[in-house]
Structure 1
Amino acid sequence: MGMRISGLASGMDIDTIVKDLMKVERMKVDKLSQKKQIIEWQRDLYRELNTELQNFDTFLRDGVGMSKTFNAKIVTSSDSTKVTAVSSGSTTNISTRVEVGNLATATTWQSDSSINYAYTGADITTTTWDFASKTIGTDLTLSYQVTDPGGEVRNSVTVDLKKGDTIDSVISKINSSNLGVSAMKESILVDGTVDPPTYEERVVFSNKLTGSGASIVSNDETTTDFMQSLGFSGAATSGEIVTDLAYRNNGEDATVKIDGFQLQKASNTFTINNITYTLHNKTAIDEAITISSSTDTDAVFDSVIKFMDKYNELIDKVNGKLNEEVYRSYKPLTNEEREALSEKEIELWEEKAKSGILRNDSIFSKGINQLRQANFSRVDAPDIGIFTNLSEIGIVTSKNYRDGGKLVLDPNVTGTDRLTGEQRLRKAIETDPNAIYKLFMSGADEKETDRRGIARRMRDTIKSTIDDVVKKAGNQFRVNNQFTLGRELDDVDNRVSSYERRLIQVEDRYYRQFTAMEKAIQQANQQASYIMQQFGGGV
């Protein structure tokens, strides 16, 4: 690009003239940039609504799509100080009699003498404890064979100790290891007649699990020596750490009768037929605790209402975009226009400019219509229960057309039983909550829509809608050339780049033309000046 001459001869503001001329030329680029902005807004709104669909799909899966939602139970005990229970998915109501013979207890091992901080171990050259500081004198790896209650053997369970560890840090490492015990140091009164009284520090291991059959065996001499230094004097390699029954409390299994059947359980908490029982105390002879369950109508009712609310929220958001007003006079702002406005003015302008971008969108219009059909078409699945339509459990479509197909409880008293929608829903829950679950989730293996439950239909529609949106607007995992709007964005970018290059050439041409004009004017001025000089010289 040559040197530019800006109006020295003509007195014209060439830069301003060229800038104004370029504004006209840049209008095409501005229109392309506005088109790009609209496509980006479109893409973002598609993805935003796709997220709403995905969230609702997850809600369906974890809500009305789960049998436990409709199997919520209220479980009561005639004496909660002895036995309590909770339902974990039972489909039927129960009334059982529970008699508790024994509670399950955990095995405990107690040292028979105090901690010997002067213990040197089998190898006289290696001091297990440093007596002066009461810390371990060397790194140690303890190795045990552990048998859990019930007889499951775990070999080579290790605990790593470091030189300088105190008894408290040793106990902490044992507690946090895979040994399966809770260790503690306790002070035992030895002589209370002296002042001050004398105590011994002893160590107690308690199995973290209740039940019979637990044991801890030293695997090697290092472990045996260390256990002896902790006061377990009977510890021997390949032998139990406590052999004297005076210092060992063998764990026991719980014994319990459920409706007359004798059971033995390693834990005081156990599950039978999806009812989880917890034993707290023994029952007296001939005493039985009654555990009863009944449908938690309020919990199931709330779950169905929550489904309706979430569905209505989705309908609101999608219909809001489908019916949004279009403000055709509000175009995306150019950079120059943005510079002339405040942040608030930009925000208000873009709110209008974005409005209506997805108005009457075919993908979401189709999806919403299919969701409505999914709700109110009869379910003809082979495994359907006594309810085949939402209206049978009191749920209908709002008669207010502005609601766009929202679900509501029928406000009218209908049917032979003359019940409102809420009353019909509660009665349905009390009659057969599992049949409501089947209304939503029957037909798992069916391919035809009318043979699939309502939630399955809805999830099918959501999946197909999400797939269509991804093809059009992509997602975070797709690059532009993998979806329609992305390809449009790339095309606009290419056209903008091409036109920007052309604008450089046009601007350069304008300057060359004005430079030529300036040179011509300057030459004409020089000639006129020369002529005037000639005429003046001849006078």
Structure 2
Amino acid sequence: MNSSSTTRLTGFASGMDTDSIVKKLMNAESISLNKLKQNQQKQTWLSDTYRQWNADLLAFRSNTILNMSLSKTYNTFDVTSSQENSVSASASGSSLAGTYSVEVKQLAGSATFIGDKVSLDPTKTLGNSVQGTGQLTTDTLIAINVYNDPKNPAALQSVTIDVKTTDTINDVVAKINGAKDSTGKSLGLQAFYDPTLQQFTLKTKETGAGTKIDLSMNTSAESQAFLKNTLGLNTTNLVATGQNANVIFNGNEITTLTSNQATIMGINFSFKSPTIGASMVTVSQNTDGVIKNVKEFVDQYNGLLEKINKAVSDPVYRDYLPLLEDQKSEMSEKQIEMWEEKAKSGLLRSDRILSGLVTKMRSAMTSIVDNGSSYNSLSSIGISSKSYQDKGKLYVDETKLREAIQADPDAVEKLFSQLGDASKGTSGVINQISETLQDGIKELTNKAGYTGNNQYDQSIIGKLLSNTQMDITRQTEKLYRKEGQYYRQFAAMEQAMARFNSQSSWLSQQMGGGM
């Protein structure tokens, strides 16, 4: 402690090391302040630890638990197609196993113009005579009307392209591709000139019978010449329309598909080319995939459980208190690290929130779920603990799990993810765990807030830290005053001793003079 405003007379009369004496006195006075600082550090560590657990539980709930609540986790399928180059497919969580007949008679197509051969040099301007019959002799405006929304065929978009003799064919292509209507919305056009094929192509990005490109309003001689001579388009037919796909699925003809991607019977189909007759698409359940998903969940659950069990059982080293700054200055970084590792150990030993979380999770994992099947508990499908000493760790009997999935896959899915009321035994294991974690997260937030928030928040520890900081501030100010008092007292003593010494010296002189 130092008080720069205090006039210090340090031993000039007494010869005493006043600073050293005051420092020792202040060390004794600072005991209560040091305890406050150590308590503040410990509460800060505790807040950080709680907040990390808050984040970890939220991540586990948002990822592992969410994935296990999805139907696709339990409905994994292998899909094969007898004409893979024409029809490919993938299964979703709602797919039904079986063999399906799929005949593609016609693919969905975009509205497309394909020009006749026109020899253009993309590096030269259109007004350059080197372009031959494709040369543009005057600037011209080209109007384009587009219907590019299969879900709303009446949605017209219009634009006018300003084509100049100083443009190259690539400039024209860029203007078309970047064209936007009066609202700033892209027309969704794709234009391309291939110098090898000597061919211009213009098409809509979307497919389906509702798509259309209309160039018929370009009736001037200049625009007609550009469309015919430069782009090679047939000016007698300046309207292009798209087409829907035509698919026969299990004998049912479907003509309303505006895309070559479609979901039928929960199966995601991709149509690539017309089939030769019918393609047979087979969807079969992949039991290995389900087992893999369940085992991954059990591993992740065990990892979380082990981590919590360790946190609530770590030893407490009571002799290792948080280090003060003076103590740290006398230690190496490695020594500080090793000391603080001991000091932080056992922060959550027997913690009520985490211990309660373990109890509730273990209860959920051993619960019986009313799912209408004998496969109504994890143990019934081969997932259970081996010993009480495992502290809730689960093991998977893969043979028993496989038998359950093959015998009643719906029951296995419901056992995990069925929505219901836990108090009535109708809630699946995953939903019970999810609710338990949510309650734990709320308790941790109330206790210490959450990562990223100010540590001096309105949580229990946040308020405690605020109060402790105020106590530290008050105690520090008190010690400054105390230190000043000590120095003033020693200064008064030094001044008194100086006067005494002066008087003694005078008396000695007087007595010596009278001899």
Compute the TM-score of the two structures, normalised by the length of structure 2. 0.86
- Equivalent residues of 2:213, 2:241 under 8 A apart: no
- Equivalent residues of 2:96, 2:266 under 8 A apart: no
Query: For 2:461 and 2:250, how far apart are their aligned partners in 1?
Result: 67
Report the counterpart of residue 183 of structure 1 in structure 2: 191
- Equivalent residues of 1:73, 1:293 under 8 A apart: yes
- Equivalent residues of 1:71, 1:434 under 8 A apart: no
The one of 300, 320, 325 aligned to 2:315: 325
Pair 1:224–1:429, CA change in 2 (3 A): farther
- State yes or no: 1:209 paired with 2:184: no
Measure how far apart 1:62 and its partner are. 3.0
- State yes or no: 1:392 paired with 2:380: yes
DSSP-derived class of the 1:37 partner: helix
- State yes or no: 1:37 paired with 2:41: yes
- Equivalent residues of 1:83, 1:281 under 8 A apart: yes
Q: How does 1:93-108 map to 2 (within 5 A)?
A: 93-108=97-112
- State yes or no: 1:487 paired with 2:463: yes
- Equivalent residues of 1:384, 1:439 under 8 A apart: no
- 1:347-387 Cα offsets, whole Å, 9 max, x none, are 1111110000110000111111001001111113xx55552
Query: For 2:161 and 2:353, how far apart are their aligned partners in 1?
Result: 62
Measure how far apart 1:470 and its partner are. 0.8
- Equivalent residues of 1:112, 1:233 under 8 A apart: no
Q: How does 1:44-59 map to 2 (within 5 A)?
A: 44-59=48-63
The one of 291, 308, 317 aligned to 1:301: 291
The one of 503, 516, 527 aligned to 2:479: 503
Pair 1:138–1:408, CA change in 2 (3 A): farther
Q: How does 1:37-436 map to 2 (within 5 A)?
A: 37-111=41-115, 114=118, 144-148=145-149, 152-158=153-159, 166-177=168-179, 178-187=186-195, 202-218=199-215, 228=224, 230-232=226-228, 244=236, 251-264=242-255, 265-284=257-276, 287-380=277-370, 384-385=372-373, 387-399=375-387, 401=389, 403-409=390-396, 421-436=397-412
Root mean square deviation, CA, Å: 3.3
Query: For 1:429 and 1:407, how far apart are their aligned partners in 2?
Result: 18
DSSP-derived class of the 1:263 partner: strand
Report the counterpart of residue 451 of structure 1 in structure 2: 426
Q: Percent identity?
A: 34
Measure how far apart 1:480 and its partner are. 2.8
Query: For 2:56 and 2:273, how far apart are their aligned partners in 1?
Result: 50
- Equivalent residues of 1:114, 1:230 under 8 A apart: no
- 1:263-298 Cα offsets, whole Å, 9 max, x none, are 2233333211111222334344xx432111111112
Pair 1:500–1:13, CA change in 2 (3 A): same
Query: For 1:425 and 1:370, how far apart are their aligned partners in 2?
Result: 24
- Equivalent residues of 2:383, 2:394 under 8 A apart: yes
DSSP-derived class of the 2:482 partner: helix
Measure how far apart 1:250 and its partner are. 5.4
Q: What amino acid does structure 1 have at the position aligned with 2:430?
A: A
The one of 418, 430, 442 aligned to 1:467: 442
- Equivalent residues of 1:145, 1:153 under 8 A apart: no
Query: For 1:75 and 1:459, how far apart are their aligned partners in 2?
Result: 32
Measure how far apart 1:520 and its partner are. 1.4
- Equivalent residues of 1:111, 1:231 under 8 A apart: no
Query: For 1:479 and 1:225, how far apart are their aligned partners in 2?
Result: 76
- Equivalent residues of 2:177, 2:191 under 8 A apart: yes
Pair 1:116–1:481, CA change in 2 (3 A): closer
Q: What amino acid does structure 1 have at the position aligned with 2:425?
A: D
- 1:235-277 Cα offsets, whole Å, 9 max, x none, are 9xxxxx86535x8875443323222222223333321111122
Measure how far apart 1:478 and its partner are. 6.0
Q: What amino acid does structure 2 have at the position aligned with 1:497?
A: T
Query: For 1:488 and 1:528, how far apart are their aligned partners in 2?
Result: 59
- 1:27-69 Cα offsets, whole Å, 9 max, x none, are 2111100000000000111111111111111124431100111
Unmatched runs of 5 consecutive residues or more in structure 1: 118-127, 190-200, 236-240, 410-420
Query: For 1:215 and 1:376, how far apart are their aligned partners in 2?
Result: 61
- Equivalent residues of 2:95, 2:267 under 8 A apart: no
- Equivalent residues of 2:10, 2:491 under 8 A apart: yes
Measure how far apart 1:146 and its partner are. 2.1
Query: For 1:225 and 1:511, how far apart are their aligned partners in 2?
Result: 105
Query: For 2:449 and 2:313, how far apart are their aligned partners in 1?
Result: 23
Q: What amino acid does structure 1 have at the position aligned with 2:380?
A: E
Q: What amino acid does structure 2 have at the position aligned with 1:279?
A: F
Report the counterpart of residue 197 of structure 1 in structure 2: none
Report the counterpart of residue 182 of structure 2 in structure 1: none
DSSP-derived class of the 1:145 partner: strand
- 1:68-126 Cα offsets, whole Å, 9 max, x none, are 11111101122323322211223431111223323334332134685999xxxxxxxxx
Report the counterpart of residue 499 of structure 2 in structure 1: 523
- Equivalent residues of 1:145, 1:217 under 8 A apart: yes
- Equivalent residues of 1:228, 1:234 under 8 A apart: no
- Equivalent residues of 1:384, 1:438 under 8 A apart: no
DSSP-derived class of the 1:153 partner: coil
Query: For 2:300 and 2:222, how far apart are their aligned partners in 1?
Result: 62
